[in-house]
Amino acid sequence: MAAQARALVAARWLADAVKNNRVGPNLRILDASWYLPKMKRNPRAEFEKTHIPGASFFDIDECCDKSSEFDHMLPTGGEFAHYVGNLGIGNNTHVVVYDASDFGSFSAPRVWWMFRVFGHTSVSVLDGGLKNWLTGGHPVTEQYSKPACAEFRESFNKSWVKTYEDILNNIKTKEFQVVDARANGRFRGVEPEPRENTEPGHIPGSINMPFPSFLDSTSGLERPVEELKKLFQQAGVDTQKPFWVTCGSGVTACHIALAAHLCGHPGVSLYDGAWAEWFTRAAPEHVISEGKGKQP
């Protein structure tokens, strides 16, 4: 099993690795770009035109539980191992994940979290993503050669994944803090959700920390640790106590998990069904909203 890797790597470090031909069985780069449908971007098509040299495309809508009615729910350990093994990733591979979002990072932390939940700690997010990579004048290419397959053995950490029932029970016990990464308007219930038949709002007692707040709005780089700690403090999240994260469909919640990890709290759990599942299944009184809410 590869050693624990630092959660963020700088563009300059990765550019040096690319230049010195270190991309291979011991270092793999993944473009994990994914966008909400309303953004009308095709991440795979964009990857085929422009990506970091040596990168492969990781599709979170492909590496998922296809039997679920909800988007990109976690796959089984076996499905994950098969998928990443086909991308040339073994247990000794250092994986660097990025995406091409205008934020600097959008979906990459989700894939970082997926590797960790399946027992692979040698995984990093490229700080600032493709946005910062291009700002630094580093090379991109349209050329792609499929890596040779590798064997990946997973070790699933079930305690990091929370279910609808877990969240429902927590409303009564208030044992865990629940932190939501969606935009404040969606959280409050006054801006629309991107999914059909889903009204905005939030889980009772949850705390809002919109994911862009963790990033520098100009460069897309992650904010320094002291600033991240202050953000948690200002939001009223006690990082000394356990907390769970959520969002619209389990993608941007992983920004909170990453920020917590950088602040020295690596074991944050994710409600994978997130708001998409909660709104579908919850009783009207469990959809807190300043807007329409959920009608009985």
CA-only gyration radius of the chain, Å: 19
Q: Could you say which of 63, 64, 149, 247 is catalytic?
A: 247
Active site residue 254: no
Helix 108-117 to helix 253-262 angle (10° resolution) is 70
**Distance, CA of 128 to CA of 9 (rounded, Å):** 9
CA gap 148, 157 in Å, rounded: 27
Cross-strand pairs, 215: 222
The answer to whether residues 113 and 102 touch, using CB atoms and an 8 Å cutoff, is no
DSSP string, 255-291: HHHHHHHHTT----EEESSHHHHHHHHS-GGGSB-SS
Helix (H) or strand (E) run with residue 207 in it: strand 207-208
What letter does residue 222 receive in the DSSP assignment?
A: B
Provide the annotated active-site residues.
Answer: 247
